[in-house]
Amino acid sequence: MRLLILAALLASIFIFGCINTAPSCSADKDCRPWQSCNLGTKTCMKLPGYCESPADCGNNTGNASLLTCDVGKSYKCIYTAGRCGTNVDCQSWQVCDSSKYCRPGPGFCDGDTQCQPVVEYCSPSTHRCGPAPGFCVKDTDCDSWKRCDQQSSKCVYLPDRCDFDGDCTTWQTCEPKTHQCKPKAGFCINDNNCDKTWAKCDGRTNKCVAKVGFCGVDNECTDWEYCSTSTHRCTPSAGKCATTADCDASYQICESHACTPKVGFCNDNQNCNVGEVCNQNTHLCQ
């Protein structure tokens, strides 16, 4: 029997020790900064205005979701996330409403539903409604070489502007630095894209073509001429002529656009009688 009584006594001491978890103390210095020593019970108790659990705050206000205990830091009652007493308890883009909730202030948002459907979304960094990816509301939402089309709410290219070659016509290429459609080699938008000393821009084909009296290729000349790459004018081929002045030698005249020897002169033996030869120095038959 004595052993049973002793065992029960030891068990009660053990149980009491486990339940009574409050730190023991003999002075305030033995407690935490938010506690004081109850000299009657020799235990540390929280000071007025402090808390040790969220329940300590809910009981003070009658609204357990409004306040919580800042356990591990100040041990004071603070507003739970999204709750407030005044505007200063909210973030800079929020205001405290009559129900003590932090709500977006004028011009701000906290969700896409507060923005224009489809074309806008609520930016998580600025908390303002802005154009959703691929959409625009105003021209400044687009790159400088684009504008905002108000019907589609999408950025479209300004005239002759581009990002890629495919954004231009087939005879143009996209210049990556300026985002401008430029004519490919041999093509033009206007005369400024051509060598104005001899060419002009044909608006029908968007190609540089020769002005009157000039040429770009040989087939723009007659069959006895070629197009000079230096002057871009039709020039008689070797041995050919338009007038006698085009012939190289004084003993030649221009006949049927060919430089032929004058009477009594020769270019070769074929111009002489049988038995004669053409002296290549004097161009006379001997």
pLDDT tens string 95-144: 999 999 999 999 999 999 999 998 999 999 999 999 998 899 899 999 99
Residue-wise pLDDT tens digits, 73-98: 999 999 999 999 999 999 999 999 99
* Residue 152 shares a structural domain with residue 210: no
* Structure tokens given for 78: 């603070």
**Does any domain span residue 97?**
no
The pLDDT score that the predictor gives to residue 248 is 81
pLDDT category of residue 7 using cuts at 50, 70 and 90:
very low
Within this chain, do residues 174 and 208 fall inside the same structural domain, yes or no? yes
pLDDT tens string 10-38: 444 333 333 335 678 999 999 999 999 99
Same domain, 76 and 115: no
Q: Answer yes or no: do 173 and 229 share one domain.
A: yes
Instruction: Please check whether residues 208 and 231 belong to one and the same domain.
Output: yes
- Note down the domain range covering 116: 111-157
* Residues 230 and 265 reside in one and the same domain: no
In a domain, 86, yes or no: no
Residue 1 has pLDDT above 50, yes or no: no
State the total domains in the chain.
4
- Please give the pLDDT value at position 70: 93
Q: What's residue 11's pLDDT? A: 45
Highest mean pLDDT among 5-9, 54-58, 65-69: 65-69
Tell me the mean pLDDT in the region 195-208.
93
In-domain check, residue 253: yes
Question: Is 11 within a domain?
Answer: no
In the chain, the percentage of residues whose pLDDT exceeds 70 is 90
Question: Is 13 a domain residue?
Answer: no
Q: CB under 8 Å to 88, separation ≥6 — which residues?
A: none
In a domain, 170, yes or no: yes
pLDDT at site 263 = 86
Is residue 207 domain-shared with residue 172, that is, in the same domain?
yes
Give pLDDT, residue 56. Answer: 85
Domain boundary among 36, 59, 80: 80
Return the pLDDT at 63: 58
Please say which residue of 100, 129, 157 terminates a domain: 157
Q: How much is the pLDDT for 23? A: 78
Q: Are residues 74 and 133 in the same domain?
A: no
Residue 14 lies in a domain: no
156 DSSP β-pair partners: 147
Q: Structure tokens of 87?
A: 């505007």
Residue 103 lies in a domain: no
